[in-house]
Amino acid sequence: MKLGFFTANYLDKPLEEVLDRVVALGYEAVELPAFKGSSHFDVDRALNEPDYVKKIKRMVSERGLFISALSNHPEGQLVLGPHGIDTDGIYKGTPEEKIAYGTERMIKTAQAANALEVGVVCGFIGCENFGRFFPWPYSKGWEEMEAKFVERWGKILDKFEEYGVKFAHEPHPNELVYDVYTAERSLKLMADKKAWGFNFDPANLIYLGIDVVNFIQAVGPKIYHVHAKDGEIVAHNVQRDGLIPTGPWSRITRGFRFRIPGWGSVPWKRVITELALVGYDYVLSYEHEDVTMSREDGETKTAAFLKPLLIRAPYEGRRDILFQ
């Protein structure tokens, strides 16, 4: 396993500056944001300017790094929704226009990944109405959204497979796939799609009270990428406001908050052990969403905490001379 860095942590800085910072801190890979307007990677330029792709690849490789994934969470959200004011900040239009735009952009992201020789795109799939996780007042609502998921994302995944790229959905609130059960359901629904899998971010699951190693065991080989992000279940606040987070992230009384690895409730030794047992030997990509400390604090503390824990090679088997 290797320690990676999601450069979206520093979209306000030039990519070259971020890459230099990443190398100095001992990170080994980068995940590049690929949504419209990203200052670190432009999908349209990648598809129309061969020299641009060469420039990005050279910029990364000459520093001894590699690109673990492209990420396009915002535009993937448009495929299933919601399609009202909630997503106007991503793309403003009718529901049909949003679906068409999100579909086109995700396929272009797969093309760009292929051009870069990057095998994974991380993102969201969307959810028309997350409130339908509860069957009242319409018990068939979630089932109908599943049908739309198969129809819309099935076509996108066909293009991913055509370009030799895997799509790693990140289970998360306000997504059709957000926990162990819905992840397992999606594998059944997309059983014929090799490109379908997951970007495992334990912080997005732990707020539900899930022991996150259960997710790893449930979907194992379908984990295509991992986010190194922690989540803190704040015990004294849970007794006041519960686990489901509402209000500003900086609210001191929140029952749950995102943290950097090692500062929350994710059992990292168990997580890394379980990832190794299911055969995951790729990148843990650090994403900073901890409102209690600066990005500089987070990146240094994360590297110091996680690097010693990473399993670099599998067990060779016992070699006991007495039993040969």
CA-to-CA separations, 79 to 29, 106, 113, 152, 169, in angstroms, rounded: 29, 9, 19, 7, 13
Q: What is the pLDDT of residue 324?
A: 59
Mapped onto helix, strand or coil, the DSSP state of residue 161 is helix
d(CA 87, CA 93): 9
Q: What is the pLDDT of residue 321?
A: 59
On whether the CB atoms of residues 113 and 121 are closer than 8 A, the answer is: yes
CA-to-CA separations, 165 to 116, 172, 259, in angstroms, rounded: 11, 22, 30
Cβ burial, residue 61 (10 Å; 0-12/13-18/19+)? exposed
Selection from 142, 201, 141 nearest residue 169 by Cα: 201
Has domain 2-323 been given CATH number 3.20.20.150?
A: yes
Q: Which residues fall within 8 angstroms of residue 118, CB to CB, at 6 or more apart?
A: 67, 68, 69, 70, 165
pLDDT tens track, the chain, 324 positions: 999 999 999 999 999 999 999 999 999 999 999 999 999 999 999 999 989 999 999 999 999 999 999 999 999 999 999 999 999 999 999 999 999 999 999 999 999 999 999 999 999 999 999 999 999 999 999 999 999 999 999 999 999 999 999 999 999 999 999 999 999 999 999 999 999 999 999 999 998 989 999 999 999 999 999 999 999 998 888 788 777 767 787 888 888 999 999 999 999 999 999 999 999 999 999 999 999 999 999 999 999 999 999 998 888 887 665 655
Residues in the chain: 324
Phi, psi (5° rounding) for residue 318? -75, 135
Q: What is the pLDDT of residue 244?
A: 73
Instruction: Give the residue carrying structure tokens 């690895």.
Output: 261
On whether the CB atoms of residues 310 and 2 are closer than 8 A, the answer is: yes
On whether the CB atoms of residues 39 and 108 are closer than 8 A, the answer is: no
Q: Kind and range of the H or E element at 284? A: strand 283-286
Q: What is the pLDDT of residue 316?
A: 83
On whether the CB atoms of residues 125 and 171 are closer than 8 A, the answer is: no
Instruction: Give strand pairing partners of 3.
Output: 284
Q: Read off the pTM.
A: 0.95
User: Can you read off the two tokens belonging to residue 152?
Assistant: 């819309």
Cβ burial, residue 52 (10 Å; 0-12/13-18/19+)? middle
Phi, psi (5° rounding) for residue 14? -60, 145
State which amino acid sits at residue 11.
Answer: L
What are the extents of the domains in the chain? Answer: 2-323
User: Can you read off the two tokens belonging to residue 289?
Assistant: 């969403």
The count of other CB atoms within 10 Å of the CB of residue 175 is: 21
d(CA 290, CA 251): 12
On whether the CB atoms of residues 95 and 101 are closer than 8 A, the answer is: no
The count of other CB atoms within 10 Å of the CB of residue 20 is: 12
d(CA 171, CA 93): 26
